[in-house]
Amino acid sequence: MPTENKTVLKLAKVQDAHLTGKNVLVRVDYNVPLKDGVITDDTRIRETLKTVKLLLEGNCKVVLMAHLGRPKGKPEPKYSLKPVAAHLGKLAGAKVHFATDCVGPEADKVVASAKNGEIVLLENLRYHPEEEKNDEAFAKLLAKHGEFFVQEAFGALHRAHASTAAIAKFLPGAIGFLVQKELEYLDKTMVSPARPFLAIIGGAKVSDKISVLYSLIEKVDTLIIGGGMAYTFLAAQNTNIGNSLLEAEKVEDAKNIILKAHRNNVEMLLPADHRVVTEIKPDARVEVTQAMAVPDGWIGVDVGPRTELLFADKIKAAKTIFWNGPVGIFETPSFASGSITVATAMAQATKGGATTILGGGDTLSVLKTAKVKPENISHCSTGGGASLEFIEGKQLPGLVALSQK
């Protein structure tokens, strides 16, 4: 297990809080993918069970609050947490009451009717615009549901919202087991990684990852860049990218990152070949380039086979690996090979003793596509944005609020 980190030591932990018989309000991240009302990936729910079960064993009344999707401050049936309540009951082995609102008479009634040793799941916090405004009056209404607050929503820690930040003004609080684990792994990776330390950063846009790239250049031995963002870096080196994705306004940033890597003796790898199409559609004819350049009229949608071998070899040789973002448009099977190769190599590296960390978001979905079990990776973060901001060295509002208690 990773060693204790400084950030965690400054925060109270749920296991030390002596909460037997109390009403405990827990912020969880149940922003899970749903298709036709069915949860397609329950990882985020499962990751909270250790904390939920500890509280149930302590005869607590467990009141959970969460958000789902982006309902823009008003109720939308497709963003209801009701399907989550039924699924949670099966996983937790406990009775789950569902409140059709998170504040007000209906919520108060459901919370009051639940018994100790039972769970209440409140309806979507984002049905109220006050949530995202970090409104203190709204946070005070939420706080009425508990005597103690537990922060277990790592994926929301980088948001200064009423249920993550303002809530801490009204209740004593602690972090749950999931948040502890996330912080321990990420802190160890950034402070004292076993070397060689390799980071793989993919995804569509450079603009989403600029700050984390500047930060990682100070820490890693090797940096791999893939996905749509790689084409802005190739363009920065005057390599032809055809019709591939380009953020022209970020070319200078890409040049600066390349220069900084060179000055820091960081090995920086870009795709050496590509899978390309003339139009992005599932049945498009896929060709493989013979070099880093993408011919005019073609679009890069995945790394090529030579790049796959190069990336896999680097991953297997590393002792610490952080991965955030797919290296191709993996949702389309014919554009998924590169991301599958990375996921498979990550699992092999883990088996070989490396510490491997997935930075949440789409990267978790790649595992499913690659048929790699999450337990074959050292740590799969439940929060992509939060993990990136932590690595950048930013203060996470949900932690700052608790640390001030």
Q: Say if residue 206 is in the same domain as residue 230.
A: yes
Q: Say if residue 123 is in the same domain as residue 41.
A: yes
Model confidence over 24-62: pLDDT tens digits?
999 999 999 888 888 988 889 999 999 999 999 999 999
385: phi then psi, degrees, rounded to nearest 5: -65, -45
| Whole-number pLDDT of residue 205 | 87
We report the CATH number of the domain holding residue 79 as 3.40.50.1260
Rounded to two decimals, the pTM is: 0.88
Measured CA to CA, the distance from residue 254 to residue 227 in angstroms comes to 14
The residues carrying an active-site annotation are 44, 205, 361, 385
Burial degree of 269 (CB within 10 A; 0-12, 13-18, 19+):
middle
The boundaries of the domain holding residue 384 are: 194-392
What is the DSSP annotation of 309-358?
A: HHHHHHHHH-SEEEEES-SS-TTSGGG-HHHHHHHHHHHHHHHTT-EEEE
The two tokens of residue 222 are 């090797």
Q: How many domains does the chain have?
A: 2
Please indicate, yes or no, if residue 220 is contained in any of the structural domains: yes
Model confidence over 255-285: pLDDT tens digits?
999 999 999 999 999 999 999 999 999 999 9
Q: Say if residue 167 is in the same domain as residue 209.
A: no
CB 101 within 8 A of CB 127: yes
Measured CA to CA, the distance from residue 81 to residue 348 in angstroms comes to 37
Q: Say if residue 85 is in the same domain as residue 224.
A: no
Rounded-to-5 percentages of helix, strand, coil across the chain:
40, 15, 40
Please indicate, yes or no, if residue 403 is contained in any of the structural domains: no
- pLDDT over threshold 50, residue 339: yes
